[in-house]
Amino acid sequence: MTLSDDSLRAAWPQPGELPDNLFHFDITAQDPKTHARCGVFHTAHGDVPTPIFMPVGTKATVKGLMPSQVADLGAKIILNNTYHLAMRPGADLVAEMGGVHKFMRWNGPILTDSGGFQVFSHNEFMKLTNEGVSFRAIEYDGARIRWTPEDNMAIAEKLGSDICMQLDQCPGYPATKAYVARAVELSSMWGERCWNAHTRPDQALFGIVQGGMHMDLRLRSLAHLEECGDFPGYGIGGYSVGEDHETMYETLEPLVAEHMPKNKPRYLMGVGNPTTLVRAVASGVDMFDCVLPTRTARMGTAFSSEGRLNLKNARFKHDQRVLDEHCDCPACAGGFTRAYIHHLVRQGEMLGGILLSQHNIRYLLALMERVRAAIAQGRYEQFYRDWMDSPAANDF
């Protein structure tokens, strides 16, 4: 059975049934010497403290982990991927199952991206027009699919996440300024259409600021979004797409610190190594997501106060220490040694990836807890300096 769109809308909470402060962003602390701030973003499935890292559950699962385990690691919000869920099992099926929260048994807030990054990575199998994007689902059945901004919003509403993102075009790096300008034009046009098409009252729609490494294009993108709708938050897209970190910060830092609205959460999309998080928070970024902690975990890599560790290396074969003596994740608190995890990784045992995934996620979530505490105490500048002077900053 597939529910009709009218039946789906009838099941949505009505505005009068929702809290008055839904999707309001309360700033609770501001560091006096940087642009770092603490806040709380209110959603239908709970409050999200910021700055925050969002573990990625691409296909409605954080790979290898039970939802309860992800919650126990300290996750306050997770991310699902719209493209992959639209392909399999399909948005209609997720809606029939009661929405993505019930489908995956996660009771906290969920953010769904637009799927645009995945669509535009199809390159020669993708075609752009003002109306939308056509592509072939090459990693599935090869079917030809067309998405308009309106189609994308319908999928997001069926999935039922707390936060969804507008459909946008994410240009890679390097790219000509003309190409990036066209991406800004399309993203701006589509952002306005997404705003007009989105109707679900218990779901926040964030706009996405594009513009590559060009500040004038970034400001053009932001200005159009502010003109076309009262978005409750903003994604910052088009970074970490091939450029080095210093190139990224040339425009990211002034964009966030000087130009983006101060009363809305700012979400730097697809960035997840610890040092980048620490530095971006100093610029005023509030939210992050990335597959890095779990993807690199499955390849045998761990974050640590010593810097990034490659557990495949022979130097860990006799190492009786845990991954990080300061970490309280199940791997470290459970006493699993580097030697044992080295063995698991070298032998391709799934437990190795599970333990490392738990460790890496907890490492970033614990880092955000320390970040929030430092901001609340007015000492984030010193926290940032101490981090950059520590071995932990060697995480690239």
Q: Could you give the strand order of the β-sheet that contains 133-136, starting from the edge strand earlier in sequence?
A: 126-128, 133-136, 144-147
Q: For residue 136, list its beta bridge partners.
A: 144
**Residue whose tokens read 């495949």:** 312
Query: Out of 113, 162, 202, 324, which one is annotated catalytic?
Result: 113
Count CA atoms closer than 13 A to 171's CA, side-chain side: 24
**38 labelled binding-site residue:** no
283 is in an annotated binding site: no
327 is known to lie in a ligand binding site: yes
113 is catalytic: yes
Determine the Cα angle at 267 with ends 64 and 164, to 5°.
70
- Rg of the chain over Cα atoms, rounded to whole angstroms, equals 21
Distance CA 181, CA 178 (A): 5
Whether residue 168 is annotated as binding a ligand: the answer is yes
386 is catalytic: no
- C-alpha–C-alpha distance, residues 322 and 270, integer Å: 29
Ligand-binding annotation for 396, yes or no, is: no
- 5 annotated binding-site participant: no
| Long-range Cβ contact pairs of 61-64 (< 8 A, separation 24 or more) | 61/104, 62/294, 62/357, 62/361, 63/294, 63/298, 63/353, 63/357, 64/294, 64/298, 64/350, 64/353, 64/354, 64/357
Q: How far apart are CA 178 and CA 343, in angstroms?
A: 50
The two beta strands, 37-43 and 266-268, are unpaired
- Within 10 angstroms of residue 110's Cβ, the number of other Cβ atoms is 26
Q: Which of 162, 202, 286, 289 is catalytic?
A: 289
Is the distance from CB of 157 to CB of 227 less than 8 angstroms?
Answer: no
Annotated binding-site residues for substrate read 113-117, 168, 210, 238
Catalytic residues: 113, 289
Annotated binding-site residues read 113-117, 168, 210, 238, 327, 329, 332, 359
Annotated binding-site residues for Zn(2+) read 327, 329, 332, 359
